[in-house]
Amino acid sequence: MVRMGSIMTKETKIIHSGLEPKNIHGSLTTPIYKNSTLAFNNYKDFLDAKKNKYTVPYYGRFGTYTTKTLEKIICQLYSSEKSIITSSGLSAITSTIFSLVKKNENILIVENCYEPVANYINLELKKCGVNPIFYKPTNESNLEKKVNSKCRLIYLESPSSLNYEIQDIEKIVKIAKKKKIITIMDNTWSTFLGINPLNLGIDIVIESATKYISGHSDCFCGIIACSEKIYKKIKPTIIRIGDFVSSENCYLTIRGLKTLSLRMEKHNKNAYKVYKYLQSLKEISYIFYPPGDKGRNFRLWKKYHKIGNSLITFSLNKNNKSKIESFVDNLKLFKIGFSYGGFESLILPLENSFFYKKDNKAFWFRIHLGLENHDDLIEDMKYALKKYNKS
In a domain, 163, yes or no: yes
Interval 6-30 mean pLDDT: 81
Q: Please write the tens of the pLDDT for every residue from 216-269.
A: 999 999 999 999 999 999 999 999 999 999 999 999 999 999 999 999 999 999
- Among residues 174, 28, 179, 169, which one has the least CA distance to residue 110? 169
Please report, rounded to a whole number, the percentage of residues in the chain having pLDDT higher than 90. Answer: 80
Q: Domain check: are 215 and 332 in the same one?
A: no
Q: Domain check: are 264 and 241 in the same one?
A: no
Q: Please write the tens of the pLDDT for every residue from 141-184.
A: 889 899 999 999 999 999 999 999 999 999 999 999 999 999 99
pLDDT of residue 6: 56
Q: Domain check: are 358 and 240 in the same one?
A: no
Cis peptide before 159 (omega within 30 of 0): yes
Buried b (16+ CB within 10 A) or exposed e, 54-77: eebbbebebbbbbbbbbbebbbbb
Angstrom distance (rounded) from CA 230 to CA 212: 26
Angstrom distance (rounded) from CA 127 to CA 181: 22
Q: pLDDT-based confidence at 1, cuts 50/70/90?
A: very low
DSSP-derived secondary structure for 251-293: HHHHHHHTTHHHHHHHHHHHHHHHHHHHHT-TTEEEEE-GGG-
Q: Domain check: are 92 and 204 in the same one?
A: yes
Q: Domain check: are 363 and 341 in the same one?
A: yes
CATH code of 318's domain: 3.90.1150.10
Interval 36-50 mean pLDDT: 94
pLDDT of residue 354: 60
Q: What is the pTM of this model?
A: 0.93
pLDDT of residue 358: 59
User: Domain end: 210, 226, 257, which one?
Assistant: 257
Q: Domain check: are 77 and 201 in the same one?
A: yes
> What residues make up the domain containing 331?
260-390
Q: Please write the tens of the pLDDT for every residue from 266-312.
A: 999 999 999 999 999 999 989 999 999 888 999 999 999 999 999 99
CATH code of 73's domain: 3.40.640.10
Angstrom distance (rounded) from CA 199 to CA 389: 49
User: Domain end: 212, 241, 257, which one?
Assistant: 257
In a domain, 4, yes or no: no
Counting the structural domains of the chain, the total is 2
In a domain, 2, yes or no: no
pLDDT of residue 25: 74
Q: Domain check: are 141 and 191 in the same one?
A: yes
Q: Please write the tens of the pLDDT for every residue from 373-382.
A: 999 999 999 9
pLDDT > 70? residue 386 = yes
Q: How many angstroms separate the first and last alpha carbons of the chain? A: 62
User: Domain end: 257, 284, 318, which one?
Assistant: 257
Q: Are 282 and 321 in contact, with CB atoms under 8 Å apart?
A: no
Q: Domain check: are 213 and 293 in the same one?
A: no
Q: Domain check: are 200 and 290 in the same one?
A: no
Q: Please write the tens of the pLDDT for every residue from 319-368.
A: 788 999 999 999 999 999 999 999 999 999 997 666 565 556 678 999 99
Q: Domain check: are 143 and 276 in the same one?
A: no
Q: Domain check: are 150 and 280 in the same one?
A: no
Q: Domain check: are 175 and 70 in the same one?
A: yes
Angstrom distance (rounded) from CA 183 to CA 202: 5
pLDDT > 70? residue 2 = no
Angstrom distance (rounded) from CA 225 to CA 77: 10
In a domain, 1, yes or no: no
Locate the DSSP E strands across 30-181: 82-86, 106-110, 131-135, 151-157
